[in-house]
Homo-oligomer: A and B are copies of this chain.
């Protein structure tokens, strides 16, 4: 089943202004190395069977925080179910893509696109729903924590050793910060990113 608005590896996306060399430097800045890539790949089969349960936790968090739920809502503050559903399908795929670690030029182009979809330049252009037109950058970045803290219990569920859970979790945190940093690109002044 194709996921509406999912564009990883879509050659019609504009290329990212960000090069693979810049990506390598950014990985070095956050200590993201081959061991982390391997750990995320080990997490893939663990996480794959739990995607809906993970999304239930994340949606519970957003739903319980009115200052976040409003970005999934219309200008009268009413949550837009069809938008919540469309984002959810892409978010589930994003969990898997994060663990596959194919972080190449096509992936960079899609990170830029994901960033635009949070910023006023791109929000609501994908699904056509009339939700609030912009998610402040600070709340995008902050999501690193809830989507990391809540991941640990899922990583423990299929019998991995405590040491391996730690490794997978540490890699997950780094990848989330890497990605949410890239998503902040459309928010930043020219040349400041």
Contact of A142 among B29, B142, B145 (CB under 8 A): B29
Contact of A141 among B143, B146, B149, B181 (CB under 8 A): B181
Given the interface contacts A138-B193, A193-B136, does A143 sit within 8 Å of B187 by beta carbon? no
A161-187: CB near B (< 8 Å → 1, else 0) gives 000000000100110011001101101
Taking CB as reference atom, which chain B residue is nearest A174?
B145
Q: Are B30 and A144 in contact (CB under 8 A)?
A: yes
Interface residues on A, range: 35 or more
Q: Are A26 and B192 in contact (CB under 8 A)?
A: no
Kindly list chain B residues whose C-beta atoms are within 8 Å of the C-beta of A146. 29-31
Q: Are B177 and A187 in contact (CB under 8 A)?
A: no
Q: Say whether chain A's binding surface is mostly helix, strand, loop, or mixed.
A: helix
Bound form: Cα–Cα A177–B193 in Å:
17
A38 at the interface (CB under 8 A from B): no
Contact of A139 among B26, B67, B141 (CB under 8 A): B26
Q: Are A141 and B141 in contact (CB under 8 A)?
A: yes
Bound form: Cα–Cα A173–B172 in Å:
14
Bound form: Cα–Cα A65–B142 in Å:
26
